Amino acid sequence: KAGVTQTPRYLIKTRGQQVTLSCSPISGHRSVSWYQQTPGQGLQFLFEYFSETQRNKGNFPGRFSGRQFSNSRSEMNVSTLELGDSALYLCASSLGGHPTGELFFGEGSRLTVL
């Protein structure tokens, strides 16, 4: 059974640009959640989607957005990038749904903003 796949794994952008990250969940999982990890702030929850609907949202500005498609694949977008957006972005999929479902994480997308 394939795991959670995130693309791209590494990317470099400049301030002001936008970026789109993709997450393909484990087959049959309908919940996808996104997280940001930085050395200073640790892991922080961004948002969670279940059956194409955003169910939960963390405390991030509106520049961070996401969506989920009918096949459960999810994308997150960050617009007008800032230096502080440099981070490892992780997604996780779950069968039952966040937060009480077991989470399966992808390897992450490491974003560097110059």
Residues contributing to the site for other proteins (CB under 8 A):
33, 35, 37, 42-45, 56, 58, 88, 90, 92, 98-105, 107-108, 110
| Smaller CB separation from other proteins, 31 or 72 | 31
Q: What is the DSSP-derived secondary structure letter of residue 9?
A: S
Instruction: Indicate the residue among 56 and 65 with the shorter CB distance to other proteins.
Output: 56
Least distance to other proteins from the beta carbon of 76, Å? 15
CA 58 – CA 106 distance, rounded (Å): 19
> Which residue, 15 or 113, has its beta carbon nearer to other proteins?
113
Q: Are 74 and 55 in contact (CB under 8 A)?
A: no
Q: Least distance (Å) from other proteins to the CB of residue 9?
A: 10
What are the b/e assignments for 53-63, b being 16+ CB within 10 Å? eeeeeeebeee
Nearer to other proteins among residue 9 and residue 63 (C-beta)? 9
Q: How far is the CB of 44 from other proteins (least distance, A)?
A: 7
